[in-house]
Amino acid sequence: MFHTRPLRWGFVVTLGVLGALLLALILVNLQNVLLSVFIAMFIALGLDPLIRWFQRRGLKRGGAIVAVILLFIVVVVGLVWAVVPSVVTQIQQFVVGIPNEIVRLQSEAWFENLSESTGGIADHVTTWVSDAVADPKTWATIGGGALAFGLAVADGISTSIFVFILTIYFVATLDTMKRAGYELVAASQRQRFVSYAERIMDSVGRYLSGMVVLAFCNAVFSFILLTVVGVPYALVVAVVALFITLIPLVGTVITTALMTVIALFTSPAAAIIVLATMLVYMQVEAYLLTPRVMGKAVQVPGSVVLISALAGGTLLGLLGALVAIPISAAIILIIREIVVPAKARA
């Protein structure tokens, strides 16, 4: 047919290419909206195990949903009201105080010995950091200019509000949306599809909620540890740790290195205490907290965690690294529960 009607074939192919390009353009323009919807759905799946927990305690589904929504609102509003002002203040103090901290560090006897043993390299590095921080062009480059930075902040706030409202809607209507989606599946395959879909979503939900609990424990422990050893800006570091440690394996290592470097500005002893304590905490988290918190959630091998975090971070930054691991958990569950049994029956 293609040889006898080349004009028709060319027209159909051209329409197909134009349709694909139009679809790609639409997806690019809607990427922020689609990403917000994706984040809200993941948060809703992470809150679903909490709803089931309330149901097991005697609440009906509707009451459990209302309880979780109210708890979610209280936590978000509480964090914004109690944590954000302190974090902003500490960030300002951190930016202003960096040059003074570097000067104080350079005056320490142990740092002078380190600088002499390295041929002045340590002193050159700290001087370069101090000059870069004091240069307004550095912050203009980081922020992309004051106007661009302000627009980015405003866009982040509006996106957060949109995700917050959408999450509440998804939590309230999750069962309804799932039933509507299941009706699109052929009746002959629906029961099997529902069984697998529920197990996947339940496992991903447990995984997400478990990682949030572990990250919260890590952040609280980091804040207490830094406060005890007298490290400034402990709250800022704890908030950063809360998000980074959502990435298992990699996140805790990154925050431990960050905390150790920041503690070094206080004293070498503080840095050693922070490093040793965090190494002990990582063992407690790996062998005691994680098995208890994660429960029945699908376990993701360490190599897959690293590959997923790297791939997701390359595509979407920190958010991509956080989301990539639950997606990997879902894929592993599909392979384990569907592909492997099917191959065994073949």
pLDDT digits (tens, 9 = 90+) for 272-320: 999 999 999 988 887 888 777 765 566 667 677 777 777 777 776 666 7
Mean pLDDT of 221-235: 88
How much is the pTM? Answer: 0.69
- Is residue 338 a contact partner of residue 211, using CB atoms and an 8 Å limit? no
Q: What is the pLDDT of residues 105-143, one digit of tens each?
A: 666 666 667 666 777 676 666 666 666 655 555 555 545
Q: What is the mean pLDDT of the chain?
A: 77
Is 195 a member of any domain? no
pLDDT tens for each residue of 28-61 = 777 777 778 888 888 888 888 888 888 888 888 7
Q: Specify if 251 maps to a domain.
A: no
pLDDT class of 340 with cuts at 50, 70, 90: confident
Rounded CA gap, 245 and 218, in Å?
7
pLDDT at residue 298 in the model: 60
Contacts of 275 (CB under 8 A, 6+ apart): 256, 260, 263
Residue given tokens 């002045």 in the structure block: 120
CB atoms within 10 A of CB 67: 17
Task: Please choose, from the candidates 346, 337, 304, 323, the residue with its C-alpha nearest in 3D space to the C-alpha of residue 42.
Answer: 323
Q: Is residue 21 part of a domain?
A: no
pLDDT at position 151 is 52
| Domains contained in the chain, number | 1
Chain-centre distance for alpha carbon 14: 41
Q: Does position 89 have pLDDT exceeding 50, yes or no?
A: yes
Q: Is residue 135 part of a domain?
A: yes
Is 215 a domain residue?
Answer: no
Whether 56 is in a domain gets the answer yes
Token code pair at residue 204: 């991903």
Is residue 337 within 8 A of residue 199, CB to CB? The reply is yes
Reported as a pLDDT band with limits 50, 70 and 90, residue 149 is very low
Tokens of 289: 């907290």
Tell me, yes or no, whether 54 lies in a domain. yes
Residue 174: predicted pLDDT: 84
pLDDT surpasses 50 at 216: yes
pLDDT band at 224 (very low <50, low <70, confident <90, very high): very high
Q: What is the pLDDT of residue 117?
A: 72
Does residue 291 lie within any of the structural domains?
no
pLDDT at 147 over 60: no
Mean pLDDT of 58-73: 85
- What distance in Å separates the CA atoms of residue 244 and residue 307, rounded to the nearest whole number? 16
**Domain encompassing residue 92:** 32-184
